[in-house]
Structure 1
């Protein structure tokens, strides 16, 4: 069975985006960016909800061509293009960049993908990740908490139907005060 990882940046008060979908608070240090890149290099398939797909696909296909692109950003962009992606949405008509679109039941498709062969998958996007968490499909959580309070926006987690018990497996502090907490789901 494939591992499903939920990894996100979040504010100290628990938001993945401030009001108006503002993520300006989440600019990573070079060390944090390199950590995210290292994690992404080990991912076999990315699972995106509509909003996160829109954000990622508007930047990463050409990010390696930007004059200020660092070596790590160029590598992240190349890896992003090469990694298979599944986009879950009933409101967009098509996707590109090594992605396929799923318009049906996200939980059923993620369950099917987990049961198949392959390496780890990463789920991102508030609504899609919430569905995977509620269905008990997430095996690992990688949450990078940034030292900022935004007071509102898109929450990292909404109300769950039941508890999810976790084991802490790693913590790390990055320049600028961002803190990684990585947990595995107790089964």
Structure 2
């Protein structure tokens, strides 16, 4: 059975996007991009919710062609294009960039993907992750906290039906005051 990780950049007050949907508030560094690249290279499939898919697919298909792209950003963009992706949405008509679209309830498809042989899976987007969390499918959380308070927006975590106990398994610090904490679900 594959391991399923939910991880995103998060403000210190727990939001993945600001009140206006803005994602441009995080402290960026080559070290952080290199860490995200290693995380993405370690997975066989990335599962996206619609909003995160739209944010990622609006930039990363050509992110390596931007005149100010760093080597880490170039590598991330190329890996992003190559990695198989599953996009969960009831409103999108199609997706591209090595992706397939799944409409309807995401839990059966995430359950099927997790049960397959292969490398780890990553889920991105708090709405999709909430469905996976409620179904007990998430094995690990990677919280990349940025030193900013947004005061509202799209929360990283949603209300759950039951308590989930976690074990801290890794902590890393990055330039700009960014801290990654990785937690495993205690079974």
TM > 0.5 fold call: yes
| Structure 1 outlier segments of 4+, above 3 Å | none
Question: Aligned-pair distance for 1:27?
Answer: 3.8
Question: Aligned-pair distance for 1:104?
Answer: 2.2
Rounded Cα–Cα distance in structure 2 between residues aligned with 1:27 and 1:59: 18
Structure 1 stretches lacking a partner, 5+ long = none
Q: Does the residue aligned with 2:90 lie in a helix, a strand or coil?
A: coil
Equivalent position of 2:181 in the other structure:
181
Question: Aligned-pair distance for 1:126?
Answer: 1.3
Kept in 1, the 8 Å contact 2:17–2:23? The answer is yes
- Length, aligned pairs only: 187
Question: Aligned-pair distance for 1:64?
Answer: 0.8
What is the TM-score of this pair, normalised by structure 1?
Answer: 0.98
Equivalent position of 1:143 in the other structure:
143
CA RMSD of aligned residues (A): 0.8
Answer with 172-181 or 23-32: which moved more: 23-32
Question: Aligned-pair distance for 1:66?
Answer: 1.0
Rounded Cα–Cα distance in structure 2 between residues aligned with 1:76 and 1:25: 19
Q: Does the residue aligned with 2:22 lie in a helix, a strand or coil?
A: coil
Structure 2 stretches lacking a partner, 5+ long = none
What is the TM-score of this pair, normalised by structure 2?
Answer: 0.98
- Taking the TM superposition and a 5 Å limit, the aligned residue runs for 1:55-74 are 55-74=55-74
| Cα deviations by residue, 1:10-33 (Å, 9 ceiling, x for unpaired) | 111111111011112114222111
Kept in 1, the 8 Å contact 2:27–2:176? The answer is no
